Amino acid sequence: MSSNVCPGTTCSVCGFRSEVFQTLSTDQLEQLTRRKSIRAARKGDIIAKQGSQIMGFIFLRTGLAKLTRLNAEGRQQIVGIATPNDFVGLLSVFSSDSYHFSIIALEDSEYCCVDLELVKELVVKEGKFAMSLLEKISRVSDLLLQNRLNIDLLQLRGRVAYIICYFANEVYRQRSFNLPISRREIAELIDMRVENVVRILSEFRRDGIITIEGTAINILKPEKLRWIKEHG
Amino acid sequence: MSSNVCPGTTCSVCGFRSEVFQTLSTDQLEQLTRRKSIRAARKGDIIAKQGSQIMGFIFLRTGLAKLTRLNAEGRQQIVGIATPNDFVGLLSVFSSDSYHFSIIALEDSEYCCVDLELVKELVVKEGKFAMSLLEKISRVSDLLLQNRLNIDLLQLRGRVAYIICYFANEVYRQRSFNLPISRREIAELIDMRVENVVRILSEFRRDGIITIEGTAINILKPEKLRWIKEHG
DNA sequence: CGCGGCTTTGATGTTCATCAAGTAAAGTGG
DNA sequence: CCACTTTACTTGATGAACATCAAAGCCGCG
């Protein structure tokens, strides 16, 4: 939970600006700069906690984070993965006053926390800003839902293939990378059990589809993996 | 697909107004009235089709509709149920130019189709409108996601209980009602097979938890059903 | 009437969760 | 730094949950 405030960077040079804040005036950007804080989170740090009051509009600048949720039964579930420039407060921000998910850093990350009241003020004052926010929020949330719907129809083999492809294609854009999450977390992400994640990964390795050593994954047969993710 | 245009009603007396359009001026509401159409859909009619171009901002005035989706494999999936005052274009409206889901009437329904360009214009022009739209869109989408996440963690018995409770509590607000969807559609809604839906419904009946005859459901033991939905 | 779609039940095999047990890796405290 | 504990990973065996296949009844519709 220890998140350090970083030396301020002005919002006018922020990567997020090009996507959402592009429509704001220099003046408004300065206002934004004054009422935001950039923070650093170490791997494992809790950026926001499910159920706690929403303090600000949060988006990820660098790094990687998971959105998690504890259901009524006490079972942990990973709702999705946030990559740089995703806002992670998600829909809750505008429909509730408390976070519906926890946000936890998977890698050392930087995130920006903008005063929520200011964002709301800007929505009301600056129509174009409101519009681009709507677009961005829609895109991120829609993608989250699509991923989940896709996974729901797959059997376990297909789910594991899906998530490997996800990291390869959407996150790291490389055939070979280090899994940022544990076997347990993979299980929580695609609604299955640790043992079966392990078993299926071993199976993929045996079949020469991937190599995997610890967290290091290398995809040997992308076509085959894609086939499994689609038909498995 | 045959949807008849209804005799115009002015937007100033629309049920949706109180939720989202409340902030618009009389003038703007008249503008809205001119650039919208109220349509009637009969049970089974397709209100919008997955993949087709988004023509307008659609919301349901009366009746009931399902949001469905055909995945890459050709398997049908029901994403959610829309009740009156839900906008059914959902997130796609602002993040894509084609519908990601089909919208199909489950009961005779009336829906309103507002010129999307006008809505976007109003978002830009009227900050308060933008804000209430953001809130509404967030609430509906968030709920959709929550429901799906809940269902994902349940076994089949729990899912069936969940969906019965859903209709009883959220849609009809009565312990006894007519299921608006077939057994097959229930299966598509909670990711299971028709046979198992039937089997579990019969089981609930045998155990005296519900009565069910055709589409007519009556919940006899709400507490027991709730227990199953939470622990099943 | 006959056909097709929806519903229902039974039988069977597959997929998956659970239990158990063991290894490896990573903290923790003396 | 080493014994100790904990946590992550891995494999096997077993039973429960579920999909699939098969068959029959029901109903509406041309």
Does residue B202 approach strand C to less than 7 Å at its CB?
A: yes
Pairs of residues, one from chain A and one from chain B, whose beta carbons lie less than 8 Å apart:
124
pLDDT of residue A2: 41
The secondary structure element, H or E, covering residue A78 is strand A76-82
A37-41, A87-91, A98-102, B186-190: lowest mean pLDDT where?
A87-91
The pLDDT of residue A3 is above 60: no
pLDDT at B6: 59
User: Which chain B residues have any C-beta within 8 angstroms of a chain A C-beta?
Assistant: 69, 71-73, 75, 77, 79, 90-96, 100, 120, 123-128, 130-131, 133-135, 137-139, 141-142, 144-146, 148-150, 152-153, 191, 230-231
Distance, CA of B54 to CA of B50 (rounded, Å): 9
| Nearest chain B Cα distance for residue A86, angstroms | 14
- Are A174 and A162 within 8 A, CB to CB? no
Please classify residue B121 by burial: count the beta carbons closer than 10 Å to its beta carbon, then call 0-12 exposed, 13-18 middle and 19+ buried.
Answer: middle
pLDDT score of A196: 98
| Mean of pLDDT over chain A | 90
pLDDT, tens digit, 9 for 90 and up, residues A50-81: 999 998 889 899 999 999 999 887 889 999 99
Could you read off the pLDDT of B48-107 as tens digits, one per residue? 999 999 988 898 999 999 999 998 778 899 999 999 988 887 778 888 999 999 999 999
Using one digit for the tens of pLDDT, what is the confidence trace for B117-171? 999 999 999 999 999 988 988 888 899 999 999 999 999 999 999 999 999 999 9
Across the interface, whether the CB atoms of A96 and B146 are under 8 A apart is answered no
Q: Are B50 and B70 in contact (CB under 8 A)?
A: yes
pLDDT value of position B178: 95
| A14 pLDDT more than 80 | no
pLDDT for residue A53: 92
Chain B 179-218 contacts with nucleic strand D (CB below 7 A): 191-193, 195-196
Mean pLDDT computed over A43-54: 92
pLDDT of residue A101: 92
Average pLDDT taken over every residue of chain B: 90
**B133–A134 C-beta distance less than 8 A:** yes
HEC readout, A84-128? CCCECCCCHHHHCCECCCEEEECCCEEEEEEEHHHHHHHHHHCHH
| pLDDT confidence tier of residue A7, bands split at 50, 70 and 90 | low
